[in-house]
Amino acid sequence: MPITIAYSTNALPDAVGELKEQCGDRKPKVVILFHSARYDSAALSRQMQDAFPGACVVGCSTAGEMVCGRMLNGSVVAMFLDEDIVEDAAVAVVEDIGWEICIQNAFSKLEQHFHAPVSSLDLRTHIGLVLMDGLSRAEERLMERIGDISDIFFVGGSAGDDLRLERTYVLANGKSYTDAALLLLLRLNRGFEIVKTQSFRASGKYLVATKVDEPLRKVIEFNHTPALDAYAAALDIAPERAASEFAHHPLGLMIEGDPFVRSPRRAEDHSIIFYCRIKQDMELAVLETTDIVADTRAAIEAKVGNLGGILGLIEFQCIARTQQLRQEDRCEQYGAIFSGIPMVGFSTYGEAYLGHINQSSTMLLFR
């Protein structure tokens, strides 16, 4: 198999030994790993690079891990991609996620490796993974700049720290970084597909952000009315009940009928702080929930059916979705969707696909 999956719940260094044993005699070209905050990120990154010296080893800390449909906590999971999948790969670290020059420098490094401007690379064979500090509040700037520089799709997520909300890490080059992002650019021998799914639909009610504080991800007014009051009115509830509905009724930027979710985080007086930036004058649909298991199953079955099968999958799933599945005791049902598919993933502090989004799952499928 060109894709091998491994995981461990052991402490270091035994966990690395177990991952290496599960990889067997294969010599992977790329290793992608996701790890619980219980692990020392710097030690894990160094030990994994030492264990696979010829591979491009990347990863991040998480708020929960996934492997072949199992939803775990306190583990490290890994995907090994061999040269049958990956013809070439390069990773660049944006060591200060908020600075445009650091983003440009990272792309320059990728261009040096591929000996070509990123803008000239074949979109059918090149795909990017992006992993970001999940507490930086800078994901939007990074994703917008990526879109300015290249038309290559970058998909990924924001690193977590088991909901401690203290510090998150990305891993590359045998090191770990915080307040940073990594860009992994792959040239594939086979095709790929991207799936984005969320369990919401537009309710038919809309809010326009008429006063915002973008850096703080704060909406002060919707429809020229205090944001919390306007949100409550759209749901026909009292403002004091609004916060209890945030998880069930986020907002969505509608693009060709598809919601790109912006999730409220908390109320602040009569303003609302979001997990994702909302721009001035942006029109957003008030969303209502659908079935997370049924929606995801339909999305995966349709894509796999159209392709006639896939070789593997990486999932970047919002921690809010993971929490919902746990609360509803549906983790096994959700995991069964991926039965028989080599997959790894993690619970994120935000997802990356054509921007920074919330309460979604973005997936990279290898054909």
pLDDT of residue 339: 86
The C-alpha atoms of residue 173 and residue 180 are separated, in whole angstroms, by 14
The C-alpha atoms of residue 363 and residue 345 are separated, in whole angstroms, by 9
100: left (phi over 0), alpha (psi -120 to 50) or beta: alpha
Q: Which of 186, 189, 138, 164 is nearest to 314 (CA)?
A: 186
pLDDT of residue 306: 87
- Long-range CB pairs of 298-305 (<8 Å, 24+ gap) are 299/195, 299/197, 300/195, 300/337, 300/338, 300/363, 303/193, 303/195, 303/365, 304/341, 304/365
For residue 91, give both structure tokens: 């990773």
Spatial contact of 207 and 230, defined as CB atoms under 8 Å apart:
yes
The C-alpha atoms of residue 364 and residue 127 are separated, in whole angstroms, by 9
In sequence order, the β-bridge partners of residue 129 are 155, 184
Residue 162 backbone dihedrals phi, psi, to 5 degrees: 55, 35
**pTM listed for this prediction:** 0.92
Q: Please, what is the Cα angle at 307 between 255 and 152, to 5 degrees?
A: 50
- Using CB atoms within 10 Å of the CB of residue 277, give its burial: 0 to 12 exposed, 13 to 18 middle, 19+ buried: buried
pLDDT of residue 69: 86
pLDDT of residue 170: 98
Provide the pairing of β-strand 3-8 with 30-35. Answer: unpaired
Give residue 283's identity as a one-letter amino acid code.
E
- Over the chain (367 residues), the average pLDDT of each successive run of 10 is 93 97 94 98 98 96 95 96 95 90 93 93 95 94 92 96 97 96 96 94 96 95 96 95 94 93 94 94 96 94 89 96 94 92 96 93 95
